[in-house]
């Protein structure tokens, strides 16, 4: 017998963690948990996830009709319900706007793989949906191609959604993803992102299967192991065997500038400094 009150407490706890991590500003984000074949608990609309109490949690059926709760349910619960319909074994869904992962969503930049061992084992490739206005049925449908082959998805120009067998796991995938995206952005600022060689990635996927975490979708689909190999190519090419550039880029040297180009750049900087000083 499921203890609904305990599940509501867990939803509130995850909401507090999302808010504390900066993954959900103001009233952003929503969380749900499937308690039966036709009943789902979910967070309400227009309420901060950092202030949730068990009495705030709503209950809906699998059509999205609210059947319990003093507050109005989130409009984005349709996205959650679509995930549950596609995989009845799933119990929990977390949607929020973690800033580093959402930066990739806004930039339309595919999140690269073959970089961090933990991500290869726990997440694998992270797909990105097409954009649709949040809250409607079309928005919910954007998730359909990815539920069976992923644990977390980047919602184009919006945020992320993750799912799992428990609320804790659904939250973990989001936290791992945002930490990874932050590392990627920091590494790119340093100058380049090195990759793990494909044979070593294969070893990680062997471990993933050994741990009982399923077969990586790249193996099932015979897909390329490394996604977005151009990301963070930077000052020098990586050693992953993904291809090399010619000339100065391959040697790690910056391309030489002519005297005219240097003079133009110096003059432009001078003009900007003078303009700023006159304000």
Residue 62 placed within a domain: yes
Cα–Cα–Cα angle for 119, 16, 182, rounded to 5 degrees: 30
The per-residue pLDDT for 266 is 67
Residue 15 placed within a domain: yes
Residue tagged active-site, from 13, 39, 76, 230 = 76
pTM: 0.83
Lowest mean pLDDT among 85-89, 112-116, 198-202, 250-254: 250-254
Residue 175 placed within a domain: yes
Residue 86 placed within a domain: yes
Count of beta carbons in the 10 Å neighbourhood of residue 126 = 25
pLDDT digits (tens, 9 = 90+) for 17-48: 999 999 999 999 999 999 999 999 999 999 99
275 vs 235, residue with greater confidence:
275
The per-residue pLDDT for 254 is 47
pLDDT digits (tens, 9 = 90+) for 244-253: 334 443 444 4
Supply the CATH number for residue 143's domain. Answer: 3.40.225.10
Say how many CA atoms lie within 13 Å of 16 toward its Cβ: 10
The token duo for 209 is 């299967």
Split at pLDDT 50, 70, 90, the class of 233 is confident
Output the CA torsion 16→143→216→108 (10° steps). -80
Residue 238 placed within a domain: no
- Rounded Cα gap, residues 279 and 118, in angstroms: 51
- Rounded Cα gap, residues 116 and 242, in angstroms: 16
Residue 92 placed within a domain: yes
Q: Which residues, 6 or more positions from 3, have their beta carbon under 8 angstroms from its beta carbon?
A: none
Which residue range(s) make up the domain with 126? 4-190
The per-residue pLDDT for 274 is 67
Q: 76 an active-site residue? A: yes
The token duo for 215 is 């077969």
Q: Which residues, 6 or more positions from 263, have their beta carbon under 8 angstroms from its beta carbon?
A: none
Share of the chain above pLDDT 90, in %: 79
Q: Domain tally for the chain?
A: 1
Residue 184 placed within a domain: yes
For residue 98, the 8-state DSSP code is -
The token duo for 129 is 């949906």
Residue 274 placed within a domain: no
pLDDT digits (tens, 9 = 90+) for 112-142: 999 999 999 999 999 999 999 999 999 999 9
């Amino acid at each position: 017998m499921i203890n609904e009150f305990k599940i509501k407490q867990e939803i509130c706890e995850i909401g507090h963690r999302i808010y504390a991590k900066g993954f959900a500003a103001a009233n952003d984000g929503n969380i749900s948990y499937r308690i039966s074949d036709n009943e789902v608990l979910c967070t309400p609309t227009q309420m901060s996830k950092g202030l949730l109490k068990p009495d705030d949690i709503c209950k809906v059926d699998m059509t999205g009709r609210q059947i319990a709760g003093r507050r109005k349910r989130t409009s984005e619960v349709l996205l959650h319900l679509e995930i549950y319909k596609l995989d009845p074994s799933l119990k929990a869904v977390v949607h929020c706007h973690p800033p580093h992962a959402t930066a990739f969503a806004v930039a339309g930049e595919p999140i690269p793989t073959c970089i961090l061992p933990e991500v290869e084992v726990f997440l694998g490739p992270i797909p990105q949906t097409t954009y649709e206005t949040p809250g409607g049925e079309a928005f919910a449908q954007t998730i359909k191609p990815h539920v069976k082959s992923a644990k977390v998805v980047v919602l184009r120009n919006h945020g992320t959604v993750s799912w799992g067998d428990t609320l804790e796991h659904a939250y973990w995938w989001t936290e791992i993803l945002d930490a990874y995206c932050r590392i990627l952005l920091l590494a790119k600022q340093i100058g380049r992102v090195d990759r793990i060689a494909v044979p070593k990635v294969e070893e990680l996927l062997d471990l993933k299967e050994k741990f009982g975490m399923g077969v990586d979708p790249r193996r099932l689909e015979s897909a390329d192991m490394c996604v977005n190999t151009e990301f963070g190519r930077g000052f020098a090419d990586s050693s992953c065997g993904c291809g090399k550039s010619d000339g100065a880029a391959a040697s790690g040297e910056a391309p030489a500038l002519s005297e005219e180009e240097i003079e133009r750049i110096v003059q432009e900087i001078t003009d900007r400094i003078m303009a700023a000083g006159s304000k």
